[in-house]
Amino acid sequence: MLISRIEMREIRMRLLHPFETSFGVTQDRRIVIVRVSDGSVEGYGEVTAGEGPFYSHETTDTAWHILTDFIAPRIIGKEIEGPEDYAGIVEAIRGHDMAKGGLEAALWDLESRRRKVPLWKLLGGSREQIPCGVSIGIQPSIDHLLQVIQNELAAGYRRIKIKIKPGWDVDVVREVRAAFPQILLMCDANSAYTLADADRFRQMDAFDVMMFEQPLHYEDMIDHAALQRQIATPVCLDESIHSAEDARKAISIGACRIINIKLGRVGGHREARAVHDVCRDGGVPVWCGGMLESGIGRAHNIALSSLENFSLPGDVTASRRYWAEDVIDPPVLVSPDGMITQSSEPGMGYRVKEPFLESVTVRTRMFDA
């Protein structure tokens, strides 16, 4: 296919509720959306970078810079076999996986629309229904958190993830477990601890938590392996894993027993599938992480979650948990029993509402062959 047009836009959307993690609060999202065209068919992708360099070094603005100044000029006018060729073309650009992943996702949507098949089938997925969990930000009080959990369970969600940080951990998890003895519960620290805190995690071993997500430094694997040896609860890596090679190394040294795969963090569908395959072969289950995406990123996450080793509920949830109005139609819907059903439409499975997208756009940049 000939890449005849690349259209980038930044959209601004306000989350219905502020989202707090160990590194800060987000409410106003600035999201880069990429559209590619072969002259007749189009595809959409989303850059998952945040507004500030806190989850990752990448931001909305660094992604815009890398895409406009380095990635788009290398891709525009190229004749490629398919999305698998993309990684080789952008290989010389080090890092910036979220910027790379936004355009890569658009190429997969385009390719699956060209072939008139659903993206999840093109990726080789088999799960028509995906189980959904929720990620709940840090709350003003434990009572507030218990109420939020109650509401999410009532909405059908199958797994509750709470964010923890020093000062909001052992006591919180103890109370949540006491209030909800049966639920699937996990904790995400977003790198807020060091190995010197191993005792806190040993204490939390008592609460039957499914996993501790990224407890230690965002680039670490060695200390995570040491922590995993000292605790019974599985460690799950998020921030530390950027590639299938990272996953192979983490598994081989025992740094984790579960991996969270995020499309942007690993640079797109091709690498996400490679991480998935390494984990499957190593007996490590995976789940799909979320980055407070608009419907476009959400649609890609749903397609990715169809791969067989996505055996744990992910952080992929309904449009209405985040947005008063989403950019796609239909919005992402979750059934009363906490499942999302794959679309049978070609491509990412959802139609982009172009007039609405236009109404939330604050800047655009066009590349023509």
For the annotated catalytic residues, the residue numbers are: 163, 262
Q: Which of 3, 291, 327, 352 binds ligand OSB (CB under 6 A)?
A: 291
What does 139 bind: Mg ion, ligand OSB, none (CB cut-off 5 to 8 Å by kind)? Answer: none
- Kindly indicate which of the ranges 161-169, 182-190, 199-207, 218-226 contains the residues binding Mg ion, using the contact rule CB under 5 A: 182-190
**CA–CA distances in Å: residue 165 to residues 110, 121, 137, 160, 187:** 41, 39, 11, 16, 10
- Interface with ligand OSB (CB under 6 A), residue total 10
Span from 99-107, 199-207, 263-271, 287-295 in contact with ligand OSB (CB under 6 A): 287-295
Contact segment (CB under 6 A) with ligand OSB among 3-11, 113-121, 263-271, 288-296 equals 288-296
- Residue of 40, 109, 37 whose CA lies nearest to 75: 37
Contact status: 290 vs ligand OSB (CB under 6 A): yes
Helices (H), the chain: 60-66, 72-75, 86-90, 97-114, 119-122, 142-154, 170-179, 198-204, 222-230, 244-252, 269-281, 295-304, 354-359
User: Given the complex with Mg ion, which of 50 and 118 has the nearer CB atom?
Assistant: 50
- Whose tokens are 């990684």? That residue is 87
Q: Does 349 bind ligand OSB (CB under 6 A)?
A: no
State yes or no: residue 238 binds ligand OSB (CB under 6 A): yes
Residue 20 as a binder of Mg ion (CB under 5 A): the answer is no
> Distance between CA 254 and CA 153 in Å, rounded?
33
Residues numbered 197 to 226 that lie near Mg ion (CB under 5 A) are: 213
Report cis status (omega within 30 of 0) of the bond before 330: yes
CA distances from 84 to 246, 273, 329, 334, 352 (A): 20, 11, 28, 31, 24
Q: Does 55 bind ligand OSB (CB under 6 A)?
A: yes
The answer to whether residue 193 forms part of the interface with ligand OSB (CB under 6 A) is no
Q: What distance in Å separates the CA atoms of residue 109 and residue 266, rounded to the nearest whole number?
A: 18
H helix or E strand, kind and range, residue 235: strand 235-237
Site for ligand OSB in 152-191 (CB under 6 A): 188, 190
Would you count residue 63 as binding ligand OSB (CB under 6 A)?
A: no
Nearest-CA neighbor of 109 among 298, 364, 349? 349
- Cβ 77 to Mg ion shortest distance, Å: 38
CA 245 to chain centre: 19
Retrieve residue 178's tokens: 């006491």
CB-wise, 137 or 346, nearer to Mg ion?
A: 137
**Residue (6 or 288) nearer to ligand OSB, CB:** 288
Tokens of 152: 């999410």
* Cα–Cα nearest to 101, from 140, 71, 139, 128: 71
**Interatomic CA distance for residues 189 and 331, integer angstroms:** 30
Residue 31 binds ligand OSB (CB under 6 A): no
Task: Map tokens 């969990």 to a residue.
Answer: 133
Q: Which residue has the tokens 């990726």?
A: 123
For position 292 contacting ligand OSB by CB under 6 A, the verdict is yes
Among 38, 111, 238, 326, binds Mg ion (CB under 5 A): 238
Residue 20 binding partner per list ligand OSB, Mg ion, none, with a CB distance cut-off of 5 to 8 Å that depends on partner kind: none
Segment near Mg ion (CB under 5 A); pick from 145-153, 233-241, 294-302, 353-361: 233-241
Nearer to Mg ion, 38 or 238 (CB): 238
Nearer to ligand OSB, 3 or 98 (CB): 98
For ligand OSB, what does the binding mask look like between residues 299 and 328, x meaning CB under 6 A?
----------------x-------------
Question: Distance (Å, rounded) from C-alpha 368 to C-alpha 105?
Answer: 19
Shortest distance in whole angstroms from residue 292 CB to ligand OSB = 5
Token output for 229: 């040896």
Which residues contact ligand OSB by CB under 6 A? 55, 135, 188, 190, 238, 289-292, 315
Interacting residues toward Mg ion by CB under 5 A: 188, 213, 238
